[in-house]
Amino acid sequence: MTPIVSAAGLVKHYGGFTAVDGVSFDIAPGRCVGVLGPNGAGKTTTLRMILGMTPMTAGSLSVFGLPMPAAGRAIRRRIGVVPQADNLDPDFRVDENLEVHASYFGIDAATARARVPELLAFASLTERRHARTDTLSGGMKRRLTIARALINAPDLVMLDEPTTGLDPQARHVIWSRLSALRARGTTLLLTTHYMEEAERLCDELMIMDHGRILDRGSPRELIQRHVEPEVIEVRAGDTRRFAALAERHGCRLEAQGDSLYCYGHESAPLLDFLQQDPALVYLHRPAGLEDVFLRITGRDLRD
């Protein structure tokens, strides 16, 4: 099967700065692929290159088997986009936003009008269909943007940080809509820095930093490959004796502020020790994507 997206050696320079540094990947049809990376990793730039909105400095790219940028129009006809920053049209009401966007795809007015009610229902915006877009909450705007991205019945939907800045309720609604899309077989490519989002939605993840893809795999594979299965976080108390004990047990230790993270395989003896000292506050949990992410991209602040 031809991949939906096939990128080889994509590079983007801004002056002397390298934003994307030779990334190669394929996206198979029907998959949900997440790009996970800190701010400035090059996620948005990569998506923009796939759309032909950012010319690439080097590399080659084919989408739906068509060459980018030569077939830009034909490629974009089959993609739906949810950009990082909202760009709904404030000159139009909610339903008009969908109709007008449809016209950019050459979809005739009658067809567009027929599609709108279903999309509004999908986005739970039927009641607000006559509202001005600047009266919508952040979550509603995102849902409308997702509905707008579906107006052309796309084969690929790209979402750039679809839930950043939303409250938990709004985020969960978006997740359920994206799951529904996935279940329909739509190929999804999304960027995020929420581990929970990546873990829930994505079949595959690409971890990106400094313009490079550092690793790729399913969430479970990445966890197995990069971190020990169990974590003990010690948050308060005198950790020196505990650290010595953990080290003897072959644990990997990381300090961050007042906390000590202990990654290992057999935690029972360590937990016995921690329970004997009431001054030690700790949390014992299975390792997750966040641990992988921090292991691979480091704990330094990015902006």
Ligand X SMILES: Nc1ncnc2c1ncn2[C@@H]1O[C@H](COP(=O)(O)OP(=O)(O)O)[C@@H](O)[C@H]1O
Residues in contact with ligand X by the rule CB under 6 A: 14, 17, 19, 37, 39-45
Cβ neighbors of 129 (< 8 A, separation 6 or more) are: 93, 94, 95, 116, 120
Kindly state the smallest distance separating residue 78's Cβ from other proteins, in Å.
Answer: 9
Which is nearer to other proteins, 16 or 278 (by Cβ)?
A: 16
User: Partners of 12 in the beta sheet?
Assistant: 20
CA separation for the pair 5, 82 (Å, rounded): 17
Does 53 contact other proteins by CB under 8 A? yes
175: left (phi over 0), alpha (psi -120 to 50) or beta: alpha
Which is nearer to ligand X, 97 or 297 (by Cβ)?
A: 297
Binding-site partner at residue 39 among ligand X, other proteins, Mg ion, none, CB < 5 to 8 Å by type: ligand X
Q: 93: which DSSP letter?
A: B
4, 19, 44, 263: residue in contact with Mg ion (rule CB under 5 A): 44
Q: Which of 28, 55, 37 is nearest to 195 (CA)?
A: 37
Which is nearer to Mg ion, 10 or 251 (by Cβ)?
A: 10
Kindly state the smallest distance separating residue 216's Cβ from ligand X, in Å.
Answer: 16
Does 88 contact other proteins by CB under 8 A? yes
Q: How many other CB atoms sit within 10 Å of the CB of residue 157?
A: 22
Three-state DSSP at 173 gives helix
Contact 222, 292 (CB under 8 A): yes
Which is nearer to Mg ion, 161 or 228 (by Cβ)?
A: 161
Binding-site partner at residue 29 among ligand X, other proteins, Mg ion, none, CB < 5 to 8 Å by type: none
User: Partners of 189 in the beta sheet?
Assistant: 33, 158
Q: 193: which DSSP letter?
A: S
Amino acid identity, position 154: P
Kindly state the smallest distance separating residue 52's Cβ from other proteins, in Å.
Answer: 8
Kindly state the smallest distance separating residue 192's Cβ from ligand X, in Å.
Answer: 10
Angle at 109 between CA 103 and CA 111, to 5 degrees: 105
Does 83 contact other proteins by CB under 8 A? yes
Give, as ranges, the residues between 204 and 233 that touch other proteins (CB under 8 A).
none
Contact 205, 222 (CB under 8 A): yes
Kindly state the smallest distance separating residue 42's Cβ from Mg ion, in Å.
Answer: 8
Does 85 contact other proteins by CB under 8 A? yes
CA separation for the pair 245, 84 (Å, rounded): 46
Kindly state the smallest distance separating residue 215's Cβ from Mg ion, in Å.
Answer: 20
Binding region for other proteins (CB under 8 A) out of 71-79, 181-189, 228-236, 266-274 = 71-79
**Which residues make up the interface to other proteins (CB under 8 A)?**
14, 51, 53-55, 72-74, 76-77, 79, 81, 83, 85, 87-92, 96, 100-101, 103-106, 152
**Which residues make up the interface to Mg ion (CB under 5 A)?**
43-44, 84
